[in-house]
Amino acid sequence: MDDDRGQATILQLLGVGMRYGSGEEVLRDIDLSINAGSFHYLVGPSGAGKTSLLRVLSLSRPIARGKLVVFGHDVRELDRDRLGRLRRRIGVVFQDFRLLDHLSVFDNVALPLRIGGADEERIAAHVSQMLAWLGLADFMEAKPPALSMGQRQLVAIARAVITRPDLLLADEPTSNVDPARAERLMYLFTELHKLGTAVILATHSREHLRRWPFPVLRMEGGRLLSPPASERLAAE
Amino acid sequence: MAPPELDLPLAETPASRFLAWLAGGLTYLAVLAAAAAAFAHGTLLRLAERPVLVTVALPAVEDPAEAERQLAAVRALVESFPGVAWTAPVAAEEVGRLLGPRVDRNEDAQPRQALPRLLDIRFLPGAEPDLGELLRRVRSLVPTALAEETSPELSTLEELARRVRWLGAAAAVGVFLLMLVAVSAITRTSLDLHEETVGLLRLLGAPDRYVARQFERFAAFAALSGGSTGFVLALSTLFALLYLAPRFGFHLLPVEPRPLDWVLIAAVPPAAALVVTLTARIAAAIGLRRLH
């Protein structure tokens, strides 16, 4: 499954629908292909289905219909263990951070590495380096409740990128940080993108779209309005 | 003992915190139950090795020669009975002493009439003599002869020891079953309480065995910390019952613990910890299959 640039397709959605419980579908007829190493913004008004789409892509919610292929695997055919292996290749920044309050900042960030079976020496080196880069070196032993919203968001981002995932899904990752930190984070995301990580970043920030122009996925009413390759901020 | 650092905040959940208390209490009970069973078993083994003593009573015969001949015949017959180690006639003085004031005596304190003759019989250790058959054979020579086991309290003690052994073993098994049920329930409750965190771990790619191991590690810690306390308290209780109570005149347990008994008792806390740990892991694994 290759696109026009000859890159592997890591995500493919065909006629995907998703609903919460027995309610109405919040995602309808989603067709989408994402290539390895690509960068996309996901935009749309509140309630358009951005977060729901990210939940489907992060394999945290099952689809109601259609087909979802992740890293070449139809997720409906995977058992829980193999699904777990795929999830380890995906970094997710949640809108509500979802940090574990009883763990230190260090341990929160180290979590994906520990789950992946990394040795403690490597974990210590990677996590310390990441936290220092994000300006959180002095907060390694702090617990999330002691941090500001912005700091928590940084910790959530650090946790999502610490394994250098193949796919990074970020839901409003710069909404709670100051402009300087937001810029630093965008730098981090674009650097990851350059290193080969595909990034899908849900945002409301026109500033981001202007300063770092990448294809835009626009959502409304649970539908994806336009194919990514045809839509760039410049074209708008 | 510091609790293990876990991704799931199990130490902060009331249900999980209860696990250490539960492990402690049940280990305490299991140790006492196992001790009762082990000590009772040891008592039964000692009783089995204690020889059975039987005394045969022959009625008085006025003619000393005839009395002597009759006793010799009975003795020869008894010694051919299976399991008999030895026989010994009880001295006339001793018989007289046993009969006490019922014996009519002369000025020299000698009995005026012939006395019954008693024959002590000792059986080999472990022998289970058929006393009815023995008496039947003796009565073929002396029709009015009597025979009885001279330590009837032993059979009462034996029966008591058997009951204590059965009850102790049943109680120990019951405590372990209770441990199994309670740990399963606590694990499932904890799993429900931490469903959101479990979901996050799964989203980060944690396989179910990783999550189940969290419950297992916490349970192992709770079982070892609570179990150690329960074990120390149980040993203190046993020490008080076995060694202190007799000093104050309370002879509650006529037992002599063997080294093997202490080995068995010491094995209870590790066994309890193993049961708690494995149960938590299996209950978590089953519960995780239930969660989406």
Nearest chain B residue to A101 by CA distance is: B9
Range A178-185 contact pairs with CB under 8 angstroms and sequence separation of 24 or more? A178/A150, A181/A135, A181/A150, A181/A154, A182/A208, A184/A134, A185/A154, A185/A157
Q: DSSP for chain B?
A: -PPPP-SS-GGGSHHHHHHHHHHHHHHHHHHHHHHHHHHHHHHHHHHHHSPPEEEEEE---S-HHHHHHHHHHHHHHHHTSTTEEEEEEPPHHHHHHHHGGGS-B-TTS-BSS---EEEEEEEPTT----HHHHHHHHHHH-TT-EEEES-HHHHHHHHHHHHHHHHHHHHHHHHHHHHHHHHHHHHHHHHHHTHHHHHHHHHTT--HHHHHHHHHHHHHHHHHHHHHHHHHHHHHHHHIIIIIGGGGT---------HHHHHHHHHHHHHHHHHHHHHHHHHHHHHHHH--
Could B197 and A100 be called an inter-chain contact, meaning their C-beta atoms sit closer than 8 Å?
yes
Domain ranges of chain B: 10-47+155-290, 53-150
B contacts of A60 (beta carbons < 8 Å) = 199, 203
Q: How many CB atoms lie within 10 A of CB B146?
A: 15
B13 touches chain A (CB under 8 A): no
The distance of B219 to chain A (nearest Cα, Å) reads 18
A56 touches chain B (CB under 8 A): no
Q: Is B290 exposed, middle or buried (0-12, 13-18, 19+ CB in 10 A)?
A: exposed
Task: State both tokens at A161.
Answer: 């990128």
Could B9 and A88 be called an inter-chain contact, meaning their C-beta atoms sit closer than 8 Å?
no
Could A101 and B205 be called an inter-chain contact, meaning their C-beta atoms sit closer than 8 Å?
no
3 state DSSP class of A49: coil
Could A111 and B7 be called an inter-chain contact, meaning their C-beta atoms sit closer than 8 Å?
yes
A contacts of B204 (beta carbons < 8 Å) = 87-88, 111-112, 115, 159
Q: Which fold has domain A39-57+86-230?
A: Rossmann fold (3.40.50)
Predicted pLDDT at A67: 94
Could B7 and A85 be called an inter-chain contact, meaning their C-beta atoms sit closer than 8 Å?
no
A160 touches chain B (CB under 8 A): no
Please give the helix or strand (H or E) that residue A19 lies within, else none: strand A9-19
Mean pLDDT of chain B, nearest integer = 87
Predicted pLDDT at A104: 95
A contacts of B208 (beta carbons < 8 Å) = 80-81
Residue A94 Cα to chain centre, angstroms: 8
B contacts of A107 (beta carbons < 8 Å) = 5, 7
Please give the share of chain B, as a percent, with pLDDT higher than 70: 93
Which amino acid is located at A99 in the chain? L
Residue A66: name the closest of A116, A31, A94 by CA. Answer: A31
Domain ranges of chain A: 39-57+86-230
B151 has a pLDDT exceeding 70: no
Mean pLDDT to the nearest integer, B46-62: 83
Q: Which fold has domain B53-150?
A: Alpha-Beta Plaits (3.30.70)
Which tens digit of pLDDT belongs to each residue from B210-264?
999 999 999 999 999 999 999 999 999 998 888 887 777 776 656 788 899 999 9
Q: Which residue is it, tokens 């193949």?
A: A166
A114 touches chain B (CB under 8 A): yes
A98 touches chain B (CB under 8 A): yes
Could A80 and B208 be called an inter-chain contact, meaning their C-beta atoms sit closer than 8 Å?
yes
A87 touches chain B (CB under 8 A): yes
B207 touches chain A (CB under 8 A): yes
How many CA within 13 A on the CB side of residue B201?
26
A contacts of B197 (beta carbons < 8 Å) = 100
Predicted pLDDT at A197: 92
B contacts of A88 (beta carbons < 8 Å) = 204-205
Q: Which letter does DSSP use for residue A23 in this model?
A: S
Predicted pLDDT at A230: 42
Could B206 and A115 be called an inter-chain contact, meaning their C-beta atoms sit closer than 8 Å?
yes
Nearest chain A residue to B5 by CA distance is: A103
The distance of B208 to chain A (nearest Cα, Å) reads 7
Mean pLDDT to the nearest integer, B97-115: 73
Which tens digit of pLDDT belongs to each residue from B157-197?
888 889 999 999 999 999 999 999 999 999 999 999 999 89
Could B208 and A81 be called an inter-chain contact, meaning their C-beta atoms sit closer than 8 Å?
yes
Task: State both tokens at B283.
Answer: 């209950």
B156 has a pLDDT exceeding 60: yes
Q: Which residue is it, tokens 């058929």?
A: B130
Task: State both tokens at B146.
Answer: 């009597």
Could B199 and A60 be called an inter-chain contact, meaning their C-beta atoms sit closer than 8 Å?
yes
Going residue by residue through chain A (236 aa), what tens digit of pLDDT does each one get?
A: 433 344 688 999 999 999 998 888 899 999 999 999 999 999 999 889 999 999 999 998 899 999 999 999 999 898 888 899 999 999 999 888 899 999 999 999 999 999 999 999 999 999 999 999 888 999 999 999 999 888 898 899 999 999 999 999 999 888 877 888 888 889 889 988 988 899 999 988 888 888 889 999 999 999 998 655 444 444 44
Predicted pLDDT at A226: 64
Residue B220 Cα to chain centre, angstroms: 29
Probe site for chain B from A63, A87, A105 (most B CB atoms < 10 A): A87
Contact (Cβ atoms closer than 8 angstroms) between residue B123 and residue B161: no
B290 touches chain A (CB under 8 A): no
Residue A211 Cα to chain centre, angstroms: 20
Residue A226 Cα to chain centre, angstroms: 20
How far, in Å, CA of A199 to CA of A187, rounded? 12
B contacts of A85 (beta carbons < 8 Å) = 205
Which tens digit of pLDDT belongs to each residue from B69-96?
999 999 999 999 988 888 999 888 888 7
Nearest chain B residue to A112 by CA distance is: B204
A60 touches chain B (CB under 8 A): yes
B198 has a pLDDT exceeding 90: yes
Nearest to B7 among A81, A92, A103 (CB): A103
Which amino acid is located at B23 in the chain? A
B contacts of A62 (beta carbons < 8 Å) = 292
